[in-house]
Amino acid sequence: MLLCFLSSQAQQGSASPNSSESTTTRFVGYAINKSLIFPDIATSPGPLTQKGKFKLFVNQSISPPYVAAAALTAAFSQARNVPPRYGQGWDAYAGRFGADMARASSDSFFGTFLFASLFHHDPRFFPQSEPKLWRTAKYSAELLIFTRNDSGKTVFNFSGLLGPLASESLANVYLPSSEQTAGRTATRFATDLAWQAAGNMFKNYWPTIFHNMGLNRLKVVPDPETPEPSKPEK
């Protein structure tokens, strides 16, 4: 089933098709409190303004997962000595880390803000209220191809696919010459999509994990159990 979104009038745990909608309906949860770790987890089913999309891009670029992923990827590349032009040592690691952060930030800029605004897409992540492993894997993969637009309809995910492609094309400006081939660009693009699918799976469980731990009462973590009334996000 394609992705769909939680009705503001739906009760917890309900899930049934809505014949008045053009897309197949499956109720999914969303957070009532913003996630500091994953700022793109939706806090309402309402549309996101262009200003809100830019703010989301900024928050994503400095979020812990982006920094941690860049740090780990740079360390892995350092251990394998790729690209070899960077060499070894802390200066080499800093170069790899900076390049990975630049790629992640530009991916967010293109996909979350620029193309999402151009195509009127909603770049946020809407977690399922009761995630299961197989459903989560399927949902995470579907989100690479389909997304929600500002009107709430399911559409082809041009912004999500063009974002990393544009980012990796731009990376050829500052990456070593060995990385500037069409083959290497395509490999990085495919790797970006794989990381995105994996990230989607983790984000899908994130609100439920914290709810089950009872940490939603701290008002700093997402809670898909009690959605707030629908309203636009700024």
- Give pLDDT tens digits for 12-56: 333 333 333 333 334 456 666 677 788 998 888 788 999 999 999
Measured between alpha carbons, how far is 208 from 31 in angstroms, rounded to an integer?
A: 10
Q: Which residue ranges make up each domain of the chain?
A: 50-218
Q: Angle at the Cα of 49 (from 44 to 53), degrees rounded to 5?
A: 90
Measured between alpha carbons, how far is 163 from 117 in angstroms, rounded to an integer?
A: 12
Lowest mean pLDDT among 71-85, 97-111, 205-219: 205-219
Evaluate the CA torsion angle 218, 223, 229, 234 in order and state its sign.
positive
Structure tokens at 27: 């109720």
pLDDT of residue 32: 63
pLDDT at 6 over 80: no
Helix axes 158-171, 133-145, angle to 10 degrees: 70
Put simply, whether the predicted model's pTM sits higher than 0.85 gets the answer no
